Structure 1
Amino acid sequence: MPYHPSAEAQKLIDRLVGDGSAEEPWAGKPLPKHVAIIMDGNGRWAGDRGLPRIEGHREGIQSVRAVAQACRKLEIPYLTLYAFSTENWKRPRTEIAALMKLLRDFLKEEIPEMLENRIRLDSIGNIKKLPLYVQHQLSKTSR
């Protein structure tokens, strides 16, 4: 399925790799081989806009796609996302369930493109605590 970024995600892509209207911001400069991001603030982002927290998490997925696209374009080989900490288990059960479903759905959608682009996803941490349906999708991405 082709990725069509949201308006905010497109702004992020444009900031990272340029929008084609001028010289790309990284032209001629050394680029990192590894980018690491702590995913935080999606719920607050939604709250600041009067939206349910889950909408912030959905927009966070768009940002992940935007950053991954930018890394591919800039040929940055490694991207690390710190996405779910042990502290997140203290959230309401409904929010955790929604996050797990978002992760599962994201992985299902992205697996074909990941395989096509030879992208490997390594999960770090106590994967056994995640629901089996998420563990199953994660196992497909690390092959």
Structure 2
Amino acid sequence: MVTSYKEHMMASNKLNTIIRKVIPLKDIPTDTQSLLDDTADINTVVNCCRDEIQKSVDTGIMPAPKYFEQVAVLSRKEKNYQNEIAICDMYIKLVKKYASEHKMTRQEFTDTVLPECAPLYKRMHNAKSMMSKTQTE
């Protein structure tokens, strides 16, 4: 029986590795291929963010950052820095809430949550920088 969050994450990672070894990625059906490039429709990806949030609520698993990052990429492409900052901030708040609800230790938070948020923190910082440059021009 899994007793701690760290053991749960290790078991989950081990299961994911086993699944990847058994089922080649090319054989896994997916409806998200169009979301992997910067030509995807932002509304479609935002709906995927909503689904990811709901899945997190239903399963108790930390939301994955991929759709939130994709919305940020698409927002940057449109030079909508405010939206990019908002989606990054939303994801960071979601995972902090998740960490709080699951009573993660500081070490668990550092090991699991921060690596997921790091690219979004960086993107948010860059978007704020770009937004301030465009406002001063």
TM bucket, shorter chain: 0.3 to 0.5
Task: Name which one, 1 or 2, has greater alpha-carbon Rg.
Answer: 2
The structure in which a higher percent of residues are helix is 2
TM-score by length of 2: 0.38
State TM-score, norm by structure 1: 0.37
Determine which structure has the larger strand proportion and give its number. 1
